[in-house]
Structures are given as C-alpha cells and as structure tokens.
Amino acid sequence: MHNELGRNDYCWCGSQMKYKKCHAAFDDKIRFYQEQGCTVPTRDLIKTPEQVKGIRESAKINIAVLDYIAKNIRAGLTTEDIDQLVYEKTTELGGEPAQLGYHGFPKSVCTSINDQICHGIPSEKVTLCDGDIINVDASTIYKGYFSDSSRMFCIGNVDKEKEKLVRVVRECIECGLQEVKPWGFLGDMGQAVHEHAVKNGYSVVKDIGGHGVGLEFHEDPWVGFVSKRKTEMLMVPGMIFTIEPMVNMGTDEIKLDEKNGWTVYTADGKPSAQWEVMVLITEEGYEILAY
Ligand code: MF3
Ligand code: CO
C-alpha cells in the first residue's frame, strides 16, 4: 500500500480528521504485515463508515427478501415462483436484484436443489417436492451498494442424511466465524470451515468461493474454504466479504451444466448444501451484515 497522504492532510476515510490522528497508525500496521510477506487488502477494500452505512441498508433488504422466502417456500411452488417473490420483495423495498443480468444471468435469484451446488436457474419447469433441499441465493443493489447472502430450506420431510448435511454446513459457518477477527487471516476461517466438514465425512468445493462485496457484487479477495491457517489475506477492520462454503455429501468434484453455462452440479450426483453470510470486520471482531 502506498501512501500519498501527508500526516496533516484529511484522512482518506472521510472522517474530516487529520490523517495522523485517524488512519495513519492503521496503515502502518497493514504495511508491517505486508513487509512480513502477508497478503494485505488494498485501500479500496477497506470501506469507509459512510460506505458501511449504505451497504448495511442494502443488506437489510437482502435479509428481508430471504425472510419473505422463508415464510412462503413450500412443496408445489416452482423455482420460477421463488424468482418472482424475490423480484417483488426486492423492488418493493427499493432495491434491485444484483443477479438479474449479471454477466447475462437471466433471473433475480439462484435456486440450487439437491445435487446442484450453486447457480441454479429458476424455471417454471422445476417444482419443489417433498424431501428436496434447496439453496436460495439472493443479492441486492440499493443506492449503488451491494449485498449477498443465501440460506438452505428443507421442503417437507427431508431424510436424515440430507437434514444433517444442511445442519453441518450451518455449523461450518459458525466454526468459520469463530476465526473471524481483525488481524487474523482468511485461511484461519477457511481451515475451520473445512475441518468441520471433513470431520462429518463431507467434502468442500475447492473451485468456487466467497468474495469481497459492497461497492461491487464481486470484489477481491476471493475467499476459499479449503485453506490453511496463517495464509490468505489479512482480515482488516472495514473489509466486507462473504462466507459461503459449498459442502458435498460425496466427491468435491464439480460438473458445469454445459447447456445453460451456469449451474454447477456435484460430479457424483450426491447432494450439496450451502449457506452464505456477509460479514464486516470491525475493530472488536465482526458484524454479520446479511444472512
Ligand atoms: N452468491 C453467489 C455468488 O457469489 C451469487 C451468484 S450470482 C450469479 O457466486 F449471477 F453469478 F449467479
Ligand atoms: Co456470494
């Protein structure tokens, strides 16, 4: 990180304080880690208090959208119905679904059922059935600020194995969150997620991960969940990223739907589950912005 600011200039964070009284020591600390060879965030990944406010508002809409889906999801709905509910709720609250048209994605939400790992495309031909597990992944743009989170839903009577998978992936998020703290490393979190999945006999998808989010839908860093302690990017107050591990009952190998170019399946056809939370690193620890 280079330092173009003088110590008596106003700080880059918009506080109206002199740099030396505001983020100078913070920047020195980051530089210290960088000199030790650590991967550190660039300044554009550190959100200012004003940006955090805007991103938090966007995230509130995302939470409300998924709460609305939680209330309404049931067997007999099509994934197209879910797409409509997401679109209606997001726009009613003044937001816009970030997925819609993103790199040509045709719908407002991803709906990934059973052996679909992620990026399932809503369709009127897909009806939710008793025993299905589904990930609903929503994202919002509000006043230019982005948010992203996803939840699992069990439809009707789900068998014990699938129910356990859904529960364990939720626990993986909790294990990961215990390692989320300022001046720790993303790899501390990734290893904790991975260990909990493996302990339960599952595998974790290596090729798809979480990401920074807030000013864009997908920002740096890429966030893996098969990483090692003390590696990957330093977690610094003001960073916002997703924790969204995809955990498979069988192999971690994946298969892309060549026809639609989006949907990712498990290579062995066994179920996969994913939860996604969006976190802000704070001076004290973290804040979950969206879930
Ligand atoms: N939460 C998902 C992700 O970060 C959302 C993907 S949206 C899509 O990958 F449009 F790319 F499908
Ligand atoms: Co995401």
* 179-201 pLDDT tens trace: 999 999 999 999 999 999 999 99
C-beta 105 within 6 A of ligand 1: yes
Do 47 and 100 fall within a single domain? Answer: yes
If asked whether residues 64 and 31 sit together in one domain, one would say no
Closest listed ligand to the CA of 110:
1
Average pLDDT over residues 91-95: 98
Query: 81: Cβ–Cβ under 8 A, 6 or more apart, which residues?
Result: none
Please report which confidence band the pLDDT of residue 4 belongs to, taking 50, 70 and 90 as the band edges.
confident
Give the pTM: 0.97
Domain count, the chain: 2
**Contact 181/286 with Cβ under 8 angstroms?**
yes
Same domain, 256 and 225: yes
The reply to whether 45 and 14 lie within a common domain is no
Distance 158 CA to ligand 2 centre (A): 26
Tell me: do 163 and 250 sit in the same domain.
Answer: yes
Can you list the alpha helix ranges (DSSP code H) found in 73-146? 79-92
Closest residue by CA, ligand 1 atom 5:
137
How far from 289 is each of 63, 148, 202, CA to CA, in Å? 9, 9, 28
Give the distance (Å) from ligand 1 centre to CA of residue 3: 34
Residue 1 scores a pLDDT above 60: no
Same domain for 64 and 179, yes or no, is yes
Closest CA to ligand 1's atom 2:
137
User: Can you tell me whether residue 97 is helix, strand or coil?
Assistant: strand
Q: What is the CATH number of the domain that holds 236?
A: 3.90.230.10
State how far the alpha carbon of 286 is from the alpha carbons of 71, 92, 179, 206, in Å: 28, 29, 10, 25
CA angle 248, 252, 258 (to 5 degrees): 100
Structural domain harbouring 87: 39-290
> From the alpha carbon of 276, which atom of ligand 1 is closest?
1
Q: 85 and 10 in one domain?
A: no
Distance from the alpha carbon of residue 141 to the mean position of ligand 2, in angstroms: 13
Residue located nearest, by CA, to atom 8 of ligand 1: 99
